[in-house]
């Protein structure tokens, strides 16, 4: 209580009073370092230069993603005592998935505060959720873990999320994996590798997930959808717990992007070559035209002089 009173007095002498009040309404407390929160709302499309650095919310988003995972795991662990690790993991996944974070960002009014270009907003479905994670990162840096946890629990989960209902909701692992791939720019495919029959002649489908040409999880089911869900679930587990798999897919992704960059550069170079060749051909045509004109003019002059001499 005393801290809030002190913050209010301090607010009277601050230049960015309006901005502080805006964040107070959003957070329930006054920021110490308002610059961090302003950066959390700065989308990369509106990046600004600060010396040799480029400022936007991507680094805070990275930090906030990890902190939010830890906080939600902490809350879920305390709320669902005696539940299995799998249950806790699934419940946490449903809370921190991009669709939920986008919705929460809109509900607390964060979407109206993000700075971005209009063009970027038209095709970036993760912008609000990313800014929400960046905000969590800013709170953690400015106030620490406990204040950050209090914010998430009291102002987010208690107000906008029914944990009991969320825990019973089925996870769409395929959508979650695709969302992860899009956010991190990985190429992911679902390959149907086998179709067979069980003892009662019911069809069984086997799906293999491929991430950047690296085999991921494999799943079986009595429908293609079921096998894809199982394969996606196993792949997400590998992403979370298998460092060798993570290293392999990142290496493959980097190699693909390097080839794409090289190909793009080669095509650009070819375009320049074609342009140069076209210019050279144009110059040759002009030169040829000028030579022809000169020859004709010379011939006409000689003919005129010859005719003149004969008349004389």
Six token digits for residue 193: 């590798």
Q: Name the region of 14 (left: φ>0; alpha: ψ -120 to 50; beta: rest).
A: beta
Six token digits for residue 175: 């959508």
- Catalytic residue positions, numbered: 65, 133
Helix intervals (H) in the chain: 2-11, 17-27, 34-40, 58-79, 85-96, 98-107, 118-121, 127-143, 145-150, 158-160, 163-168, 173-184, 224-241, 243-311
Query: ∠ CA 148-154-157 to the nearest 5 degrees?
Result: 95
Among residues 148, 154, 167, 158, which one has the least CA distance to residue 81? Answer: 167
Neighbours of 207 (CB within 10 A): 24
- Alpha-carbon gap, residue 43 to 130, rounded angstroms: 9
């Amino acid at each position: 209580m005393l801290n809030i009173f002190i913050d209010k007095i301090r607010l009277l002498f601050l230049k960015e009073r309006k901005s502080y009040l805006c964040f107070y309404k959003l957070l329930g407390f006054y920021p110490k370092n308002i610059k961090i929160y302003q950066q959390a709302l700065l989308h990369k499309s509106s990046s600004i230069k600060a010396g040799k650095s480029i400022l936007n919310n991507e680094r805070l988003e990275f930090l906030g993603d990890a902190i939010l995972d830890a906080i939600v795991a902490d809350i879920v662990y305390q709320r669902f005592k005696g539940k299995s690790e799998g249950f806790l993991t699934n419940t946490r996944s449903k809370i921190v998935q991009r669709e939920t974070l986008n919705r929460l960002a809109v509900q607390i009014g964060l979407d109206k505060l993000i700075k971005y270009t209009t063009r970027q907003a038209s095709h970036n479905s993760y912008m609000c959720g990313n800014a929400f994670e960046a905000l969590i990162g800013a709170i953690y840096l400015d106030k620490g873990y406990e204040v950050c946890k209090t914010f998430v629990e009291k102002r987010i989960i208690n107000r906008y999320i029914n944990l009991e209902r969320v825990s019973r909701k089925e996870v769409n692992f395929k959508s979650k994996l695709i969302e992860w791939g899009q956010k991190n720019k990985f190429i992911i495919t679902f390959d149907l590798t086998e179709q067979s029959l069980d003892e009662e002649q019911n069809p069984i489908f086997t799906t293999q997930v491929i991430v950047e040409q690296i085999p991921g999880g494999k799943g079986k089911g009595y429908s293609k959808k079921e096998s894809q869900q199982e394969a996606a679930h196993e792949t997400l587990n590998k992403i979370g717990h298998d460092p060798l798999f993570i290293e392999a897919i990142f290496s493959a992704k980097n190699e693909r992007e390097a080839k794409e960059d090289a190909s793009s550069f080669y095509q650009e170079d070819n375009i320049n070559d074609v342009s140069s060749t076209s210019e050279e051909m144009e110059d040759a045509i002009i030169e040829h035209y000028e030579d022809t004109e000169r020859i004709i003019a010379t011939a006409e002059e000689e003919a005129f002089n010859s005719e003149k001499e004969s008349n004389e």
